[in-house]
Amino acid sequence: MQLYNGCTYGTWGFSLQSHTSITTNSASYNVGIKGTAYASASIGNKRSYGIYGVAGNATSGWNYGVYGKLYGTVNGTAIFAATNSYGDTYISGEYAGYFRGKMFVEDDLEYTDLVEMSDMAMKKDVRPFKQASTDATDILQSLTAIRYKLKTPVEMNLIGPEITDTLSVDVLSASYNAKRYTDERIGLSAQDVQKVIPELVKKGDDGYLRMNYIGLIPILLEAIKEQEAEIEALQSEISQLKKIMIK
> Whats the size of the chain, residue-wise?
247
Q: How many CA atoms lie within 13 A of 175 on its CB side?
A: 16
126 Cβ neighbours under 8 A, 6+ residues apart: 120
- Residue 14 and residue 4 in contact, taking contact as beta carbons nearer than 8 Å: yes
**Rg of the chain over CA atoms, in angstroms?**
27
Q: What is the pTM of this model?
A: 0.68
* Nearest-angstrom CA–CA distance, 24 and 153: 51
What would the pLDDT profile of 94-115 be if each residue is shown by its tens digit? 999 999 998 888 777 888 888 8
* Nearest-angstrom CA–CA distance, 221 and 234: 20
Grouping H, G, I as helix, E, B as strand and the rest as coil, residue 159 is: coil
Which residue type, as a one-letter code, is found at position 97? Answer: G
Q: What is the pLDDT of residue 18?
A: 82
pLDDT digit of tens for each residue in the chain (247 aa)? 555 556 666 777 777 778 888 777 777 888 888 899 998 888 877 889 999 999 999 999 999 999 999 999 999 999 999 998 899 999 989 999 999 998 888 777 888 888 887 888 888 999 888 776 678 999 999 999 999 999 987 888 876 555 444 444 444 445 567 778 888 999 999 999 999 999 999 998 888 899 999 999 999 999 999 999 999 999 999 998 888 888 7
62-73 core/surface letters (b: 16 or more CB in 10 A; e: else): eeeeeeeebeee
Q: Which helix (H) or strand (E) holds 8?
A: strand 2-9
